[in-house]
Chains A and B, each alone.
Chain A
Amino acid sequence: MKTHNIIISGFGGQGIVAAGRLIAFAGMTDGKKVSMLPSYGPEMRGGFANCHVIISDADIASPIVSQADIVIAMSVPALNKFQPVVKRGGILIVDSHQVTHSDYRDDIRIIKIPATRIAMDKSNVKMSNMVMIGAMISVIGSPSLNSMALSIRDLLPQHMQYLFDIEMEMLEAGMAFEG
């Protein structure tokens, strides 16, 4: 029985909640139990945003992640807030373009990936969340790439379907990154 307790965090506008929704959707498509709890509040573009995602083989008790297996941090405040909740031996994935220096714990695995830079170079800055998801998938092997593709298709509104190929490309860029 395997459970991934994930926190995705950054600032509003980076697609934090969209990323959580996508991972949960893909997890469901893989046949897993999933929950996704977004932060909601007055935060809009630029404010603090996070969401809790659980993907599990078993029924999920609480949807609230208090001890995370994986934290994705895309801003300095997000890193400061959620680095302490990574379980010992867990994984912290940091957008090293947004977070240039920090004190890191030595009892967790740190993965630094310049997701914003990669997204800006290859398509546009709004795709940095896909690069981060790709980095996560390459480490934990879930959700499957096939389910991710189905989920992106499903979640993109009709008039944005043209973004599908770019989204997949950014996802794969994240998966291929070796820091």
Chain B
Amino acid sequence: MEQKLMKGNEAIAEAAIRAGLKFYAGYPITPQTELPEYLAKHMEKSGGTFIQAESEISAINMVYGAAGAGIRAMTSSSSPGISLKQEGISYIVGSELPCVIVNVMRTGPGLGGIHPSQSDYFQAVKGGGHGDYKMLVLAPNSVQEMYDFTIDAFDIADKYRNPVMILADGILGQMMEAVNLYTPATEKFDKSWATTGTYKKRKHNIINSLYIKPEESETLNKRLQAKYKIMAQNEQRVEIINPDADIMLVAFGIVARVAKQVLDDAKSQNLSVGLIRPLTVWPFPSKAFKTAAKAYLTIELNSGQMVEDVRLEVNGRAPVHFLGKMGGKVLTVDDIMAKLKQIAGA
């Protein structure tokens, strides 16, 4: 297998091309710009179309159109740019179209800063746009996973006719690691709904999210909710280390990498610590929380967002603690060890 040293942003771009990406539109923003840069360089060779749009809003709506034509489409941005895309995402969900959206998170609110953050968790998993909707949200923690999850994302999107988001952060986008490159076997998905021309042989396909009659709007919403129920049952992904530990850390993305380092230190200091790492933050891996842990510690680069989902799952069976860091700095092993000792001693 071919191995290459790549940035996380580049790995997503390469994986998307190999997964059959045929349309990309986006607008540059740090810390994800290497992604469109890579696509601009390589997409033409693979027979795709790359557009640097005039704005993020324009880009997501171009993706909406391309997805309606039944081709694999993607956009990417970083936090403020993802906010601009929310209306389009809601329309794509409402029209039941597949696409992949990448958010390489930076700090907020507002223009925020360019350093890593996880403060768009709520926006990604609770729905940043209007209406009752969900996206499947994948949370990689290595450059290899940036690659693997992108390949999966296109299949999941096509399978459910729903946008899939890859929720990364500035470090994952910028850091380099070795990646095993492979080209997936392309699964065939039914796209008979796509607006590819009738050639006078069938009725028009209509891409639409407007349902004026309450009954029709209700039908769509019920169909979406039934779909999300199936997704929640079938698509939960999680990595669990030391499931029988006294204290379970809960972390996703780059913070989970720091947590893995913590596990080694904790062992040498006779602390019984494990890790639950959601690979899908929606659907949230509820199955992982049926442990006998005496306490949970959720660690995030925000003021406490995923911790709310952890508390729902644990449902009062054990205390759920939180440790966060905001503004672009990353939690250190020392930060986490100090909190663990405090919890273990209490």
Interface residues of A (CB under 8 A from B): 21, 24-25, 28, 33-38, 40-41, 60-64, 66
Contact = CB atoms under 8 A, between A and B. Distances in A.
A24 B5 contact: yes
Give the bracket for the number of chain B residues in contact with chain A: 20 to 34
B28 to A, nearest CB: 14
A41 B113 CA distance: 9
Given A62-B257, A62-B333, A35 B177 contact: yes
A35 B175 contact: yes
A64 B330 contact: yes
A34 B257 contact: no
B258 A40 contact: no
Interface in B126-158: none
25 contacts: A21-B5, A28-B3, A28-B5, A28-B178, A34-B5, A34-B177, A35-B176, A35-B177, A36-B5, A37-B175, A40-B30, A40-B31, A40-B174, A41-B114, A60-B177, A61-B260, A62-B258, A63-B171, A63-B257, A64-B171, A64-B257, A64-B258, A64-B332, A66-B332, A66-B334
A50 to B, nearest CB: 13
Contacts of B308: none
Interface of B: 3, 5, 30-31, 114-115, 170-171, 174-178, 257-258, 260-261, 263-264, 330, 332-334
A24 B178 CA distance: 9
Contact of B177 (A61, A62, A63): A63
Contacts of B260: 61-62
A36 B175 contact: yes
A34 B115 CA distance: 22
Given A24-B5, A25-B5, A66-B334, A61 B178 contact: no
Nearest to B33: A40
A40 B334 contact: no
A37 B174 contact: yes
Nearest to A41: B114
Nearest to A64: B330
B177 to A, nearest CB: 5
Nearest to A54: B177
